[in-house]
Amino acid sequence: MRLLTHNFLKSNVKGTENGYPLNIEVTTINCEESPLDKLFLLNLLPKVNYPALRTAVQQISQHCVPPLPEIPEQLDVSDKESNQNLDHETLKNLHRVLFDVYLIEGWLVCPDTGRKFPVKEGIPNMILHEDEI
Amino acid sequence: AEAEAEAEAEAQIDSELDAQAKYNKDTEHNNHNPIKPYHERSWKITIHTLGSTYTRQEQNEMRSKFSFLQFPGPVQMKHPDDEYLFIREVELDAMGGAVYPRHCKGEDGKTKKELIPENDARPPLACYFGRVLGNGTLGRNWRGSNRLFRYSLKKRTYLGPTSMDSELSLIMTNLAKVQKGSFAFDPFVGTGSILLTAALRGAQTFGTDIDLRVLRGRNPNENIVSNFQQYGLPPPELVRSDNSIYHRHFRKHLPLFDAIVTDPPYGIRAGARKSGSRRGDGEVRPVLEEYRYDHVAQTRPYAVSDVMADLLNVAAMTLVMGGRLTYVIPSMLDFNEEEDLPRHDCLKVVSVCYQPLQTELGRRTVTMEKVKEYDDRKRDEYLEGTWVNGPQSAEKVANIRERLIEAAKKKPGYEEKAAWRKQKRKETKEAKKRAKLEGAERSQFQVNQFNRR
């Protein structure tokens, strides 16, 4: 599971509205570089929740070897036009954190209820138990 | 002026030959046949007249109509360098037979006899002529590789009973306009065969499924990700989630996907499931905390009418404007495209392609495009408006396998055929057992021989 996916996952156990963003507990993590797809990234950025991305990066950064690059503390990504003016270094770093980090084993924890969603073999299991629906 | 034209033509041919020589040189280190120059290329014309039969003489008459093309090379019927295809299209009925057949059927209903002059004189719907670039047999493109064959399911490391054949997957992703830079989504990803062709076209891919076993695959070397690795493709993002509650797994987000390409479960080979207790009485037992880690969440049957309603609604919600949803739907002869296809206020049907599979069964590949922005407040309205004719339309596509078996049971001779099949299965099983024992004996014999030495 990459941070791209994590950015969209939430917990809705028993209808909680505060299940986003999920906290990440890392057991095993992998990093694999991939080439920057600028077109795709620019298309994607306005849809990304940036504060959630930044928090996620902070939560997993210590487990990554080499450590993850710094991304700006605040960034308004909502405007496609202004995103095109982002410098190459920032775009590269954004690409790196969104696409190149794979959580293989770990947990996604609901910030409201504490419910832990397991991540095994890179696949998060979001299925709610029958008493959580 | 004539001399000028001739000189120009010669110069043209010279420059082509130069380019040809350069190409030949570049490809010398490849073991493929270098491209022959145009005037040496052998050729043939294949005639396709689906729904009608033409004698060899009639076909040759059709071929001679193209003699004006004056292909310089020799005609070669077997493995020519170039194959040209002439297709004469006539109106077909739902079972693939001509609506106005050329010949009438003989007394035994099988052999075609005389020509029906009025039908034969009917003009065709259309005629097509072109050069074959690739197909199952003559599939070698100019690079010498057979594109389709490379992606054949036979070569795939991880397969399941629901894997979609590569040809249909390629067609579906084409219909959904998946291309480089697209973000493609398959909410019923299964073994990932459709998502794979999306990735082949250069898309980033995302797949979800409620079935954990199929997502994980048989082992780390035989799973969805290994299939992608087999073709050197970036891995898909996979999540185990329930499409019927997409909005509860994923936060509200701006339209994200350019294409949704999927083969929804219809209760044929893989029954559809959704989250929730199986108990009919509505009583849900709480999951004790100490068992939660290993608890396998119960799932319950998911009606086809809901599968499609949810699919269209998720598509309307998550597709970008102009984005496309392409799905397959099996259908029998009682299916009416006008009335029975599921609908959504935000989506417009772009195309429906019917493929007959058996006498009464076919499948439709439906493509829809998002034309209207999704309004959150209208969710219930959208879901209720899915089936114009009510859920009985959904019933037409659900449980087709059971319906086919029921229909087959009613046909005369069914019991004898079933008994014969059972006997055959028994014989095959026993033959396999014997072969296994003999094989075991043989290898034991070999081991003994070895030990004696």
Tell me the pLDDT tens digit for each residue of A56-109: 999 998 888 888 888 888 888 888 888 888 888 999 999 999 999 999 999 999
The per-residue pLDDT of chain A, averaged, comes to 90
The pLDDT confidence band at residue B29, using thresholds 50, 70 and 90, is: very low
* Residues pairing with B129 in the sheet: B86
Q: If you write DSSP's letter for every residue of B366-387 in order, what string do you get?
A: EEEEE-S---GGGHHHHHHTS-
Q: Decide if B276 and A133 are in contact by the 8 Å CB cutoff.
A: yes
pLDDT > 60? residue B429: yes
Q: Residue B402: which residues within 8 A CB-CB, separation 6 or more?
A: none
Q: Decide if B276 and A8 are in contact by the 8 Å CB cutoff.
A: no
Q: Note the pTM of the prediction, 2 decimals.
A: 0.73
Tell me the pLDDT tens digit for each residue of B170-224: 899 999 999 998 999 999 998 899 999 999 999 999 999 998 888 888 888 888 9
- Is B140:B97 a contact under the CB 8 Å cutoff? no
- CA nearest neighbour of B72 among B37, B40, B34: B40
Q: Decide if A40 and B204 are in contact by the 8 Å CB cutoff.
A: yes
Q: Decide if A129 and B242 are in contact by the 8 Å CB cutoff.
A: no
Closest Cβ opposite residue A129 in set B183, B240, B287: B287
Distance CA A15, CA A6 (A): 19
Closest Cβ opposite residue B298 in set A8, A37, A130: A130
The residue of B180, B206, B224, B249 whose CB has the most chain A CBs within 10 angstroms, and thus the best one to mutate to test that interface, is: B249
| Shortest alpha-carbon distance between residue B178 and chain A (Å) | 13
The residue of B195, B204, B213, B248 whose CB has the most chain A CBs within 10 angstroms, and thus the best one to mutate to test that interface, is: B248
Instruction: Provide the token pair at B247.
Output: 């909005």
- Is B346:B373 a contact under the CB 8 Å cutoff? yes
pLDDT of residue B165: 78
Q: Does A34 touch chain B (CB under 8 A)?
A: yes
| A2, A51, A79, B7, B22 from B254: Cα distances, Å | 19, 16, 13, 62, 51
Amino acid in position B357: L
pLDDT of residue B52: 87
* Residues pairing with B273 in the sheet: B301
Judged by CB atoms within 8 Å, which residues 12-31 of A form the interface with B?
A: 12, 20
Residues of chain B with C-beta less than 8 angstroms from the C-beta of A49 = 251, 253
Residues of chain B with C-beta less than 8 angstroms from the C-beta of A46 = 254
Q: Does A123 touch chain B (CB under 8 A)?
A: yes
Beta-carbon-side half-sphere exposure of residue B18 (alpha carbons within 13 Å): 6
Closest Cβ opposite residue A129 in set B238, B241, B295: B295
Going by DSSP bridges, is the β-strand pair B273-275/B299-301 parallel, antiparallel, or unpaired? antiparallel
* Three-state secondary structure call for residue B55: coil
Tell me the pLDDT tens digit for each residue of B133-180: 765 544 444 444 455 556 666 667 777 766 777 888 989 999 999 999
The residue of A30, A130, A131 whose CB has the most chain B CBs within 10 angstroms, and thus the best one to mutate to test that interface, is: A130
Tell me the pLDDT tens digit for each residue of B306-321: 889 999 999 999 999 9
Residues of chain A with C-beta less than 8 angstroms from the C-beta of B251 = 8-10, 20, 49
Closest Cβ opposite residue A9 in set B210, B250, B295: B250
Closest chain B residue to A39 measured between Cα atoms? B181
Judged by CB atoms within 8 Å, which residues 62-91 of B form the interface with A?
A: none
Query: pLDDT over 70 for what percent of chain B?
Result: 78
Going by DSSP bridges, is the β-strand pair B82-89/B43-48 parallel, antiparallel, or unpaired? parallel
> Where do the H-state alpha helices sit in A33-129?
38-44, 50-60, 80-83, 88-99
Q: Does B179 touch chain A (CB under 8 A)?
A: no
CA B414 to chain centre: 31
Q: Decide if A5 and B293 are in contact by the 8 Å CB cutoff.
A: no
pLDDT of residue B269: 47
ipTM: 0.93
Instruction: Provide the token pair at B338.
Output: 């006008």
Total CB pairs under 8 A between chain A and B? 99
Q: Does B250 touch chain A (CB under 8 A)?
A: yes
pLDDT of residue B414: 81
Q: Decide if A44 and B183 are in contact by the 8 Å CB cutoff.
A: yes
Phi/psi at A70 (nearest 5 deg)? Answer: -80, 135
Q: Decide if A39 and B242 are in contact by the 8 Å CB cutoff.
A: no
Tell me the pLDDT tens digit for each residue of B225-261: 998 988 888 899 999 998 888 888 888 888 999 999 9
Q: Decide if A9 and B204 are in contact by the 8 Å CB cutoff.
A: no
pLDDT of residue B321: 96
